[in-house]
Amino acid sequence: MVWSPTSWQHKPCQQAIEFPDKISLAEHLETLATLPPLVSTGEIRKLRNHLALAEEGKAFILQGGDCAEQFSACRTDNIINKFRIIMQMSLVLIYGMHKPIIRVGRIAGQFAKPRSSSTETRGDVTLPAYRGDIVNRTPFDEVSRMPDPANLTLAYYHASATLNYIRALLAGGFADLHHPEHWDIDFMSYSPHATQYQHITESITNALTFLQTIDGVRREETSQVDFYASHEALCLPYEQALTRFNEDDGKWYNASTHFPWLGLRTTQIDGAHVEYLRGIHNPIGIKVGPNVAADDLLALIEVLNPNNERGRLCLITRFGANRVSQGLPPIIERVKASGRHVMWSCDPMHGNTQKLENGIKTRHFDDILNELKQTFAAHHACNSFLGGVHFEMTGENVTECTGGARDLKASDLTRDYQTAVDPRLNYEQALEMAILLSEIK
């Protein structure tokens, strides 16, 4: 079938979003199609080159951010805190891994969420499920839960504002993290690894200071970094409207983000989401869960990367700490034996979600760390490279995941539980995770 930005419309679409007002939907999509791209083709191609290096173990991808962005979080302080924690984590990983760290945020577009049910019932009332701010709103009332096409345009402007501010921070030197002593690391005193953490931050400070004393190494050369945006390519009308043709290389690009990914619920090889993603030239992530069949995964890889190009595909595994050691190695071996070029990343969050008796979702810090350790071990045993990690996290000190240096308990979660969908590592837990991750060999 000949591909076009609209060819997905002729395929069965899982997680489809029905906007009742079709006239308004057409108007907003027409507006989006005329607006400037949010990212450039040059940035997208640069990220593909980075992914190719990570595939060979020569770089490492740190991908992280909110489970579901909300328009109300498009604030100066919130954006700064998200950006800061990714920068700080990346510096720790550079120090521990001795390789370039590629920074990718779940940001400026992570406005849609898949749901297991299209409706939600509370008492005697049934309404559409919350599908992310690009579709509807969280309050449980008929007006808030009605899918509204105006949210598509609002998503564009909130993503644009977020990216614009991040680029301003980068240009203004915010990424210059030469002073780890300024980090908020009070939590370290609660951890049995406190002395070890302090040694790492002091070593980073000393290393950066040493660099500045070497002739020819200017401060600017260690303070400018690349930063990329990513989100799940779930709301296909939005993705289609922001798809652009590049005259220079004759290829189509999704200009809403650098790095879209395919979720577990939309990997049907004859489905609309696979059809859309196969035609764009962005790097593509594929979430891989414990129930995936190796043959199905290889068929999906063939469809999305028929020319077997490096830097095109990233397999993001999410097995859970209890299933990764047995389930992941056979998948790695089958993909290796096929000769297909892929980069591997680990999402240690989604496979470790648990629901408490009071209905609150959480994840335990130790389960997340254990899946990371086992995933590294599986790749090492298979003579493969784990090229990245994928966290749901925030720069705020929310209380959504248990464990960590402060040993948050289930009883602590209600103190500051903010996420609209899934629990995130807070600032302290994310930085601690980076420190422990940097030591995994």
**Which CATH number characterizes residue 232's domain?**
3.20.20.70
Q: Residue range 414-440: average pLDDT?
A: 92
pLDDT-wise least confident of 182-191, 245-254, 403-412, 415-424: 182-191
Lowest mean pLDDT among 29-33, 59-63, 114-118: 114-118
| Domain-embedded: residue 21 | yes
> Above pLDDT 70, what percent of the chain?
93
**What does the chain come to in residues?**
441
pLDDT at 204: 74
Determine, yes or no, domain membership for 189: no
Residue 196 banded pLDDT, cuts 50, 70, 90: confident
Q: Residue 207: its pLDDT value, please?
A: 75
Residue 188 within any structural domain of the chain: no
Task: Note whether residue 171 is domain-resident.
Answer: yes
Q: Tokens 């705020």 belong to which residue?
A: 396
Q: Residue 75 belongs to what domain range?
A: 7-177+223-437
Is the per-residue pLDDT at 230 higher than 70? yes
Give 197 or 386, the one with higher predicted confidence: 386
- What pLDDT is attached to residue 205? 73
pLDDT (average), residues 138-144: 96
What is the mean pLDDT of the segment spanning 9-18? 95
Question: From the centroid of its chain, how far is CA 235?
Answer: 16
Q: How confident is the model over 366-385, as pLDDT tens digits?
A: 999 999 999 999 999 999 99
279 in a structural domain: yes
Contact by Cβ (8 Å): 273, 14 = yes
Contact 188, 405 (CB under 8 A): yes
Answer yes or no: is 182 within a domain: no
**DSSP annotation string for 136-148:** --SSSSHHHHS--
In a domain, 206, yes or no: no
The pLDDT of residue 331 is above 90: yes
pLDDT tens sequence across 176-189: 655 555 566 676 67
| Average confidence (pLDDT) over 9-38 | 97
Lowest mean per-residue pLDDT among 209-218, 395-404, 410-419:
209-218
Q: What's the pLDDT tens digit per position in 81-102?
A: 999 899 889 988 988 899 999 9
Beta-carbon contacts of 1 under 8 Å, excluding residues fewer than 6 positions away, are: 7, 10, 275
CA-CA distance, 413 to 52, in Å (whole number)? 40
∠ CA 193-196-199 to the nearest 5 degrees? 150
How many domains in the chain? 1
Examine residue 203 and state whether it is found in any structural domain, yes or no. no
Average pLDDT over the chain, rounded to an integer: 92
- Written as six digits, the tokens of 25 are 């939907």
CA dihedral sign, ordered 85, 91, 95, 96:
positive
